[in-house]
Structure 1
């Protein structure tokens, strides 16, 4: 069997609110609790298991979306007044990046309520 990522723990002071925030942006559902985790399962069956932590360092999470799903998520960010950025340093507010390495790839970054840096991006096409 090939190696696959099954789940990852996402630290949060308020796991339920953080899971709901991300699920709403991505157009997903929050799964029923599993023990003390609040999971959000992605299309490839990887789950983000939100867990309560009082102290943690923010992480970066990137989500690959189709073109229509990206446009819908970007519209939800904008409707929600959530600032998004064209760069991971968060200096290019309101921007969407276009990758120079992958033709047609678009992406943007935003922070969740816990300070994690979230990224949504499209697959694009590899340059010949």
Structure 2
């Protein structure tokens, strides 16, 4: 059997805030919560679990592939909410998107400080 990505736990400073942010940005589906986990599902049934760990954590990078219409809605939300964003991962081109790899992309930080990338075309 081919391996499929099933779930991940995303370290959070506030699990509920993260869940609500990702629900809106990714147009995700609410999932039942249990234990310390606030849960949502995204495409292909992938479960994202948000939890506050018992220690400090370094920021991670998470990239999400969106169709063009979803990207338009997500970018409109980013702009409407005044969320700082960049066209590049080095955060040099502020307030813009890129047109890399035959699509569009944008970088931003989530409420816990993780680096998010939204893109419309996969790199491979």
TM-score w.r.t. length of structure 2: 0.91
CA distance in 2, matches of 1:7, 1:29: 14
Structure 1 residues 72 and 35: alpha-carbon distance in aligned structure 2, compared to 1, 3 A threshold: same
Instruction: Give the superposition deviation at 1:29.
Output: 3.6
Aligned residue for 1:6?
6
Aligned residue for 1:35?
35
The structure in which a higher percent of residues are helix is 2
Q: What per-residue deviation string (whole Å, max 9, x for no partner) do you get for residues 77-98 of structure 1?
A: 1111101110111121111111
Aligned residue for 2:112?
114
How many residues end up aligned between the 2 structures?
123
Aligned residue for 1:67?
68
Secondary structure in 2 aligned to 1:97? coil
**Unaligned stretches of 5+ residues in structure 2:** none
CA contact (8 A) 2:13 2:112 kept: yes
Aligned residue for 1:81?
82
CA contact (8 A) 1:84 1:93 kept: yes
**Unaligned stretches of 5+ residues in structure 1:** none
- Hey, which bits of structure 1, 4+ residues long, moved more than 3 A? none
Secondary structure in 2 aligned to 1:90? coil
Aligned residue for 1:93?
94
